[in-house]
Homo-oligomer: A and B are copies of this chain.
Amino acid sequence: MNADFINPFLTAVQNVLSMMAQIELKPGKPQIKKDDVARGDVSGLIGMVGPQTKGSFSISFDENLAIEIMHKMLGERPSGINEEVTDMVGEITNMVTGGAKRTLGEKGYEFEMASPVVVTGTDHTIRHKSEGAKLIMPFEHEAGRAHIEICFDKIS
């Protein structure tokens, strides 16, 4: 997996959160080791299928960061992860993947997106079961951490 594939996702995460919530995430060091695991309290996941490749994308947030994004976007500060927060995380997942899809389409990499799924549960972990390379990228914010994970594989 090369930078052509990864950078559109990194850029889309930062753009979406900056535009929608005036939240500026500070990117950390990407990890491509197999034993790293994305972890968070609420995660959005989406599957991607193209003519030559398939894959999955996830974005995980600490509860406190998810609530801060909610507060900045809608002016509300829920006391915990409720259905409005999971709806918001589903929307962010769609918007980030849609942004990356447009950029990748311009470079000749076409794929379609499945519908997003949102997982909640304190400190849950996400493992992308693909034979292809996986990239985990942490982001820092004073309200908490986010992780994205991207995984692409050849279609069998």
**Which residues on A are within 8 Å of B, measured CB to CB?**
43-49, 54-56, 58, 83, 86-87, 90-91, 93-94, 112-130, 132, 151, 153, 155
Given contacts A86-B129, A90-B129, A49 and B114 within 8 Å (CB-CB): yes
> In the complex, which residue of chain B has the Cβ closest to the Cβ of A129?
B90
* Cross-chain contact A129 with B87 (CB below 8 angstroms): yes
> In the complex, which residue of chain B has the Cβ closest to the Cβ of A122?
B121
> In the complex, which residue of chain B has the Cβ closest to the Cβ of A119?
B119
* Cross-chain contact B119 with A124 (CB below 8 angstroms): yes
In the docked arrangement, what's the CA distance between A112 and B55, Å? Answer: 11
* Cross-chain contact B58 with A114 (CB below 8 angstroms): no
Residues of B within 8 A of A45 (CB): 45, 47, 117, 119
